[in-house]
């Protein structure tokens, strides 16, 4: 185990570890670090990067941008979705596709638009870049794309979202913060147990993932007229319950492996 690979980032990780109620269980790390399980971890990681970009794009389309610029978001994501969900295209097609490179136009009817656009458009660009990096690693290791069932993690957190605005948006942003924080914590927890190339890659993601969780939290507080700490703490408790409970399938955000 090479703990030195994470040592330069311990200060960066402190607020994330404080934010999350519980660390990743040792049983999960043990299973995820097995050589035979690396393909499923990388494949699910690939799906997670795309889902993160899709979630940010959905927030932008629902709460921030004009209809025409919402279509720009859909167009930017389509090559990635074609590749993952339909088996159409290649990494080269994704890399040469239209990127989200210019400013998005806010919808006049959306009071939170400017704040959301600034944070979420940057997040989308970074998540799609991470997608390309994961896919390149998979190609190098001859790991094929395949359909994959999602873990219950995000789905069960989203079931807790309130049904009225702006509280629904605030809840979604809090969930986004938790997902990003847990991802960052797991990159750091898993990296010392992996081969050097994958370890370096996971460590390289720590800084941006750490910023993403802060972006979500700061935006959630900006959009609320009251302090969100109580609501954040409630979601932290729900998130910890999912991480501590058993899961029958190994995924990047799954809980304790039931078969471990």
DSSP result, 140-157: HTT------PPPHHHHHH
Of 68, 67, 77, 130, nearest in space to 100 by CA: 77
**pLDDT 10s per residue in the chain (260 long)?**
677 788 888 888 999 999 999 999 999 999 999 999 999 999 999 999 999 999 999 999 988 888 888 898 999 999 999 999 999 988 888 888 767 656 777 777 777 788 888 889 989 999 999 999 999 999 999 999 998 998 999 999 999 999 999 999 999 999 999 999 999 999 999 999 999 999 999 999 998 888 889 999 999 999 899 999 999 999 999 999 999 999 999 999 999 999 75
Count, in order, helices (H) and strands (E) of the chain. Answer: 11, 2
Name the pTM for this structure: 0.93
Residue 247 φ/ψ, nearest 5 degrees = -130, 140
What pLDDT is stored for residue 9 in this prediction?
Answer: 84
Going by the DSSP 8-state scheme, the letter that residue 257 receives in this structure is E
- Supply the pLDDT for residue 234: 98
Who contacts 257 (Cβ-Cβ below 8 Å, separation ≥6)?
A: 27, 28, 31, 246, 247, 250
User: According to the model, what pLDDT value does residue 5 have?
Assistant: 80
Burial of 169 by CB count in 10 Å (0-12 exposed, 13-18 middle, 19+ buried)?
buried
How many angstroms from the chain centroid is the CA of residue 100? 18
Which CATH number is 3-254 given?
Answer: 1.20.1260.10
């Amino acid at each position: 185990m090479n703990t030195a690979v994470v040592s330069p980032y311990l200060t960066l990780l402190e607020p994330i570890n404080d934010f999350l109620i519980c660390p990743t269980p040792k049983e999960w790390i043990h299973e995820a670090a097995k050589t035979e399980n690396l393909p499923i971890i990388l494949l699910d990681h690939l799906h997670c990067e795309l889902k993160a970009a899709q979630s940010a794009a959905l927030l932008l389309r629902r709460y921030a941008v004009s209809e025409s610029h919402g279509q720009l978001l859909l167009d930017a994501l389509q090559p990635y979705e074609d590749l993952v969900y339909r088996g159409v295209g290649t990494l080269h097609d994704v890399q040469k596709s239209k990127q989200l490179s210019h400013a998005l136009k806010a919808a006049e009817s959306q009071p939170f638009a400017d704040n959301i656009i600034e944070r979420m458009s940057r997040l989308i660009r970074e998540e799609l870049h991470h997608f390309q990096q994961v896919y390149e690693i998979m190609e190098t290791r001859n790991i094929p794309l395949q359909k994959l069932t999602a873990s219950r993690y995000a789905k069960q957190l989203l079931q807790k979202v309130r049904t009225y605005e702006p509280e629904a948006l605030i809840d979604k942003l809090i969930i986004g913060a938790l997902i990003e924080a847990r991802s960052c914590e797991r990159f750091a927890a898993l990296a010392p147990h992996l081969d050097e190339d994958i370890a370096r890659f996971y460590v390289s993601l720590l800084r941006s993932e750490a910023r993403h969780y802060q972006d979500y939290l700061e935006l959630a507080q900006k959009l609320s007229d009251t302090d969100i700490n109580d609501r954040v703490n409630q979601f932290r408790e729900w998130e910890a319950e999912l991480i501590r409970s058993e899961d029958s399938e190994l995924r990047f955000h799954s809980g304790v492996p039931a078969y471990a």
